[in-house]
Amino acid sequence: MISIEQARKAILNKIKPLPSEKLFLDQSLGRYLAQDVYSERNIPPWDNSAMDGFAVHTEDLAAGEGRLGIAYEIPAGALPQGPFEKGTAVKIMTGAPVPPGADAVVKREDTDEREGEVIVRKTPAPGENIRASGEDLRAGELVLQAGIRLAPAQLGLLASIRQVMVPCSQRPVVAIIATGDEVADFDEELTENKISSSNSYTLKALVEEAGAIPLYLGVARDTREDLADKFSRASRADLILTSGGVSMGDYDIVREVMTEGGNVMEFWKVNIKPGRPLAFGTISGIPAIGLPGNPLSTMTSFYQFARPAILKFLGARELLLPRLKAGLSCPVKGSTDRPHYMSGILTRDGEGFSVSPAGPQGSGILSTLSRANCYMIIPPEGKPLEKGRLVECEIFNPAW
- 21 within a domain of the structure (yes/no): no
C-beta neighbour count of 45 within 10 angstroms:
11
| 15-24, 153-162, 247-256: least confident range | 247-256
Whether pTM > 0.85 for this model: the answer is yes
How many domains does one find in the chain? 4
The alpha carbon of 137 is separated from its chain's Cα centroid by a whole number of angstroms, namely: 24
Residue 219 CA to its chain's centroid (Å): 30
For the chain, percent of residues with pLDDT exceeding 70? 98
Q: Are residues 330 and 302 in the same domain?
A: no
**Same domain for 211 and 296?**
yes
CA distance 237 to 259: 19
Residues 124 and 221 in one domain: no
What average pLDDT does this structure show over 366-387? 93
Range of lowest pLDDT (318-322, 356-360, 361-365, 366-370): 361-365
Among 151, 174, 209, 144, smallest CA distance to 18 is for: 174
Asked whether residue 357 carries a pLDDT value surpassing 80, the answer given is yes
Judge whether 318 lies within some domain: no
Distance CA 218, CA 231 (A): 11
pLDDT at 262: 82
For 305, what's the count of Cα atoms within 13 Å in the CB-facing half-sphere?
37
Asked if the structure places residue 110 within a domain, the reply is: yes
Examine the domain organization and report whether 159 and 54 are in the same domain. Answer: no
pLDDT tens digit string along 209-233? 999 999 999 888 878 888 888 999 9
Which of 331, 330, 318, 278 has its CA nearest to residue 300? 278
Question: Whole-number mean pLDDT of the chain?
Answer: 92
Residue 88 phi/psi, 5-degree rounding, is: -125, 170
The confidence score (pLDDT) of residue 248 equals: 52
**178 and 309 inside one domain:** yes
Domain that holds residue 373: 323-395
Q: What does the alpha-carbon distance between residue 381 and residue 5 come to, in Å, rounded to a whole number?
A: 18
Do 285 and 249 lie in one domain? The reply is: yes
pLDDT of residue 195: 75
Say whether both 85 and 191 belong to one domain: no
- Is residue 230 situated within a structural domain? yes
Residues 141 and 125 in one domain: no
How confident is the model over 332-354, as pLDDT tens digits? 998 888 999 999 999 998 889 99
pLDDT in tens, 121-156: 999 999 999 999 999 999 999 999 999 999 999 999
CATH number of the domain to which 357 belongs = 2.40.340.10
Residues 271-316 pLDDT 10s: 999 999 999 999 999 999 999 988 999 999 999 999 999 999 999 9
Round to whole Å and give the CA distance between 290 and 288: 6
Q: Which residues contact 387 (CB under 8 A, 6 or more apart)?
A: 327, 328, 329, 330, 331
CATH of the domain at 30: 3.90.105.10
Domain co-membership, 67 together with 88 = yes
